[in-house]
Amino acid sequence: MAMKKVKQGIAAALAAALVLQGAPMPVQAASQDAGAAVQGETVPGPGIKGAAQKEAVGINVAYHTQDEIRAYIKNSGAGISDAVTFQENPVTEAPFGLGKLSNETLDSAVKMLNQIRYIAGIPYDVALDDSYNEKAQAASLVNYVNGKMTHYPTKPEGMADEMFALGESGAGSSNIAWGSSASWKLNRFIVMSWMEDGDSSNIDSVGHRRWLLNPSMKKTGFGLVNGVNGTYSAVYAFDRSGQAEHYGVMWPAQNMPTDYFNNKFPWSVSMGTEVDASAVAVTLTRASDGKVWNFSQSSADGAFYVNNDNYGQKGCIIFRPNDVAGYQDGDSYHVNITGLSGGDVSYTVNFFDLDVPGTGAASVDAVSVIPGITTVTAGNTQQFRESVTVQNGAAKTVTWSVEGNQSANTKISQAGLLTVAEDETAAILTVRATSTLDATKFGEASVSVVRKPSGTGNGGSNEDTNTDNPGTGDTDTKNPGTGDADTKNPGTGNTDTEKPTTSSTLPAKGKTYTVGVLKYKVTKSAAKNGTVTVTAPKKKNYRTITIPKTVKIGKYTFKVTSIASKAFKNNKNLKKAVIGDNVTTIGASAFEGDRQLTTVIIGKGVTKIESKAFKGDAKLATIKINTKKLKTVKKDAWKGIAKKAKFKVPKGKAKAYKSLLKKGGLPAKASVK
C-alpha cells in the first residue's frame, strides 16, 4: 500500500542521514556555546549548587553553569505557561481553514525549544520555517477534526485534497500531542510532554525527546488547534540541515533545572552510534547518601532500555531509578556507563531551582501531588510530596489537608506525611496540597484504604505506590515512526483525578462512585457493556464540565448513557457543558438554574431531553446539537434561556428540530440552523 511505502521511505532517509554524519569525533564547542566542550576534562563550575563537579568523560556537548543557564532563560523570556494566541483562527468545520499561530506564540515556542537545547549543550539556534509551521498547523487541524491523534490520519469529509496532503505530510514528520483541555499551552507540551516520554509506550525509546535534542536540527515549525475536542499540537521534527558532531547528549543535563525535570522523566544518553544492549551497564550514585542504582539488561533497579532506532540520534541508553521521590535544589547524581565500544562514559548531574525573576507578578501555575494514586493499609503511613510550577519567583509552599476520613485520628502533617488511623472505615481518602500564595491552585491524590486484617502487627510505612500524577495533566503524545499506540503523559495541566475501586471487584448496580470531577451511579453492572449515569459533580465550583463517553471504575470500563435529573441544578459557576456521544438521555432539571451557563454541546447519541433540563439558564446562547437521533424534547426544557439563542444542528435537521425544540419552550427569537 502507498502508506507503507511512505513509511519505509522515511526510515531509509533517516538511516542515510545518519550514515552521512559519520562517526562522532571530539570537537571544540560551537562558537555560540558559552561553556567548553566536555571531553575527558575537569570543568570549572562557577554558580554550581550541589556536589563538586566530577570529571566528565566520553561525551561531546557544551557545558553551561547554573548561572549561565539562569541568565540564558531570563534573556530568552519564554515560559512554560506562555499564552497561545492566533494570527488567524483555525476553522474546524467544512470548508475548513488552517489558521495560524501568532508570531508571539511561535517565537515563544522556538525560544522554549532553544532553552532545552542550551541546557543540553547542543546548538541552540533552531529557527522557525514557514513551510514547517504550515505542515505542523495542518497536522494539528486534521487530527483535531478527526478527534484522533495519529501520524497517519484519514481525510476529513469536506476537506480539500491540498489541505489534507499538507496535514498528512505534517503528521508523518512531527511530534504530535493531544491534551484533554482546550487551555493546554504549547510550551508545556514541549517541556512536560515531549521531553518527558516517561509513559509505558514511550519510555523504551524516548523518541519525542530525541527528536527535539537532535543536534543537527536547524529549523522547525509548530502548530496547534484547540476547542471542544481539547488541544491538538505538533512540532516538525525531521529537519537535519544543521552541522553538528555532538554525542553523549543527555537529559537531565549536567546542570539541570528542577523546573524542567521530575521523577516521571527517564534519564537518557544518546551516543550517536549503535550501542550493544547486552554489554552496556549503568551505575547511578546519589551524592547525598551514597545510594546506588545499577542498570543492565540482566538486572535493573528501575526501568532500563537501549534503543538504536533513528530518532534524532541512535544509540540511546535509557534508565529511570526506582524509589526517587523527586529531584530537589542541590541534589547531585553521578552517572557511569560501561560496555560501550567507544569507551566508558562518566558525568555528574547537579539539580537546581531556576528562580528566574520575570517582569510580571509572582504567580502559581499548577500544583500536583506525588504519588497521585496509592493504596494504604489502615494503621500505616504514606509520604507525599508536592510539585509546584510558578512564575516570577513565586513561593512554592503548600498547606496539606486530607478529606473523606471517618476517623479523627487520620491526619496529614504539614510535611506531607499521611497517617491512616487503624479505625479508619473510609474506602477512599483525598489528599490535597494547596498553594499558600493562591488557594485556587491545588493538587490532589486519591488514597484507597485497605482495612487492617485481624492479627496484623504494627503498621509501617506504605511502600506500594503508583506514581501517576493525576490533577496535573492528561495528554497523549506520539513521535513520528513509533506506531499508533496512544500514550498517557500526566504532568501538566489540570484534569480529572480518579478514585478507583479495588481493581478485582465489579462495581455493583445502584452504587455511586466518584471518578475525577463527576459522580457516577452504576445502572448496569457488567464486566463488558456496563452502563452508568452521571448524578452530580464532585464540587459545584467547576466552570466547564465534560461528560465522557466512557468511564473507568477500577479495571472496568462503563458507558456513560445518561445524565440524572437535577445532576447539575443550580450550579452557580458552570459556564460550559460538553455531553459525550454515549449519552442518550438528559434528565429532568439536569442543568436547571445554571445562570452562568453560556454554551452546551450535545453529543451524537442523545434521543431525549427531559422537562426543565435547561430551564432558567438566562445566559445560555450557544447550543450545538450533534445528534441526528433526537426524538423527544419535554415541556420547558429550554424555557428562560437567552432570547436570541443560536442552535446549530446537523445538516438537514433544522426544520424538524425547530418544531421539536418549540415543544420544549424554544424562545421565539432563537435561531435553529
**Range with lowest mean pLDDT among 5-19, 41-55, 594-608:** 5-19
How many Å separate Cα 518 from the centre of its chain? 20
Q: What is the CATH number of the domain that holds 561?
A: 3.80.10.10
Nearest to residue 94, comparing CAs of 28, 24, 156, 3? Answer: 156
pLDDT (average), residues 13-28: 25
**Both 252 and 395 in a single domain?**
no
**Both 347 and 403 in a single domain?**
no
Residue 340 has pLDDT above 80, yes or no: yes
What pLDDT shows up at residue 357?
52
Residue 581 has pLDDT above 60, yes or no: yes
Task: Give the Cα separation of 225 and 315 in Å (integer).
Answer: 34
- Residues above pLDDT 90, as percent of the chain: 64
| Final residue before a domain boundary, out of 450, 468, 491 | 450
pLDDT (average), residues 410-435: 90
| Final residue before a domain boundary, out of 429, 450, 471 | 450
What pLDDT shows up at residue 425?
86
What does pTM read for this prediction? 0.56
**Both 228 and 342 in a single domain?**
yes
Residue bearing the bigger pLDDT, 460 or 353: 353
pLDDT (average), residues 26-36: 30
| Final residue before a domain boundary, out of 316, 351, 386 | 351
pLDDT digits over 366-385, tens only? 888 888 778 899 999 999 88
Domain presence at residue 54: no
pLDDT band at 619 (very low <50, low <70, confident <90, very high): very high
**Both 401 and 524 in a single domain?**
no
What pLDDT shows up at residue 481?
52
Q: What is the 3-state secondary structure (H, E, C) of 361-426?
A: CCEEEEEEEECCEEEEECCCEEECEEEEEEECCCCCCEEEEEECCCCCCCEECCCCEEECCCCCCC
pLDDT (average), residues 423-428: 86
pLDDT digits over 521-553, tens only? 999 999 889 999 999 998 887 888 889 999 988
Task: Give the Cα separation of 590 and 570 in Å (integer).
Answer: 9
**Both 235 and 346 in a single domain?**
yes
Domain presence at residue 498: no
Domain presence at residue 125: yes
Domain presence at residue 201: yes
**Both 214 and 278 in a single domain?**
yes
**Range with lowest mean pLDDT among 102-106, 121-125, 412-416:** 412-416
pLDDT (average), residues 430-437: 89
pLDDT digits over 634-651, tens only? 999 999 999 999 999 999
What pLDDT shows up at residue 649?
94
What pLDDT shows up at residue 4?
25
Q: How far apart, in Å, are the Cα atoms of 253 and each of 175, 210, 260, 347, 354?
A: 22, 13, 11, 9, 14
Domain presence at residue 28: no
What pLDDT shows up at residue 589?
96
What pLDDT shows up at residue 364?
83
pLDDT (average), residues 187-204: 92
pLDDT (average), residues 232-238: 96
Q: How far apart, in Å, are the Cα atoms of 408 and each of 19, 246, 371, 420, 423?
A: 66, 59, 23, 10, 9
pLDDT (average), residues 505-511: 89
Residue range(s) defining the domain that contains residue 614:
511-672
What pLDDT shows up at residue 244?
81
Return the DSSP state at 630: -
What pLDDT shows up at residue 544?
82
Domain presence at residue 327: yes
- Amino acid identity at 407: S
What pLDDT shows up at residue 410?
95
Domain presence at residue 479: no
- Phi and psi at residue 511, in whole multiples of 5°? -90, 145
Residue bearing the bigger pLDDT, 636 or 451: 636
Task: Give the Cα separation of 66 and 48 in Å (integer).
Answer: 6
**Both 537 and 654 in a single domain?**
yes
Residue recorded with cell 505542523:
136
Residue 59 has pLDDT above 50, yes or no: yes
**Both 388 and 340 in a single domain?**
no
Confirm if 473 and 367 have CB atoms less than 8 A apart.
Answer: no
Confirm if 263 and 331 have CB atoms less than 8 A apart.
Answer: no
pLDDT band at 404 (very low <50, low <70, confident <90, very high): confident
**Both 328 and 391 in a single domain?**
no
Domain presence at residue 25: no
Q: How far apart, in Å, are the Cα atoms of 142 and each of 86, 138, 163, 172, 562?
A: 17, 6, 9, 12, 30
The side-by-side arrangement of strands in the sheet containing 381-383 is 381-383, 417-419, 411-412
Domains contained in the chain, number: 3
Return the DSSP state at 193: I
pLDDT (average), residues 91-109: 96
**Both 198 and 76 in a single domain?**
yes
Q: What is the CATH number of the domain that holds 280?
A: 3.40.33.10
Write down the mean pLDDT value for the chain.
Answer: 83
How many Å separate Cα 280 from the centre of its chain? 31
What pLDDT shows up at residue 11?
30
Q: What is the CATH number of the domain that holds 374?
A: 2.60.40.10
Name all contacts of 416-420 with Cβ < 8 Å and 24+ positions apart: 416/383, 416/384, 416/385, 416/386, 417/381, 417/382, 417/383, 417/384, 418/376, 418/381, 418/382, 418/383, 418/384, 418/447, 419/381, 420/376, 420/377, 420/378, 420/379, 420/380, 420/381, 420/382, 420/447, 420/449
Residue 463 has pLDDT above 90, yes or no: no
pLDDT band at 181 (very low <50, low <70, confident <90, very high): confident
* Rg of the chain, C-alpha, whole Å: 26
Residue 656 has pLDDT above 70, yes or no: yes
pLDDT (average), residues 432-438: 88
pLDDT digits over 110-151, tens only? 999 999 999 999 999 999 999 999 999 999 999 999 999 999
**Both 638 and 556 in a single domain?**
yes
- Amino acid identity at 654: A
**Both 388 and 521 in a single domain?**
no
